[in-house]
Structure 1
């Protein structure tokens, strides 16, 4: 059985998701990072793109983000970004479409 960790995806205007997960995958400016419980502490810059999370209840979601930061320490993963959109259908293209729409509505896209 996989060990769980606490994960938080936070955009500038809201907490997008918070809960327990077994795996987090994301792109940093230095390459891909995969995080599981008991990972070495890390602080890195996230590249715009996809965040993929496997939840503790065998669920799965993806989010489109516009970059940001990832912090990993003591079985807590924090993903901080300006804008993020979540797709509970695990469909990155849908999450990206939602993010693009949000940015256009803000006049930034």
Structure 2
């Protein structure tokens, strides 16, 4: 069995999760990243997506995040998200509003900003598909 490590996910509104876990998959800016005990120290930005958490005591959580950053160090993993909520708390109306805002950002952006806005829109569309919302 894999060894556990401390994981904390915080948004500006609340502490979403603080537990010992055996594995966390995060939507890092360069692709999905799996973190386990003794992972190399890393800091990365987090894009919109789903965080998959395997708890040390059993069970799994899926958490929607929309931006932020993750810090992996000797003390575990800290994920500071701009927005975070358990996936079962995310409803189709909330996600539709985020998609609408992302599309509006694409419509007004130019140059590199348009590329970044399109990536965010694509990430949110992927969340919608993954959660069947």
- Per the normalisation by structure 1, the TM-score is 0.81
Two-structure CA RMSD over aligned residues (Å): 2.3
Distance 2:75 2:33 in 1: 15
Q: How does 1:1-109 map to 2 (within 5 A)?
A: 1-87=1-87, 94-97=88-91, 100=94
Matched position secondary structure for 1:100: helix
- 1:12-69: CA deviations, max 9, x gaps? 1110110100000011111110000000001000010100000001110010011110
- Preserved CA contact (<8 Å) 1:64 1:95: no
Q: Measure how far apart 1:75 and its partner are.
A: 4.4
SS in 1 for 2:91: helix
Structure 2: runs of 5+ lacking an equivalent: 103-133
* Structure with higher strand content: 1
Q: Secondary structure at the match of 1:2?
A: coil
Report how many aligned residue pairs link the two structures: 99
Give 1 or 2: higher helix fraction.
Answer: 2
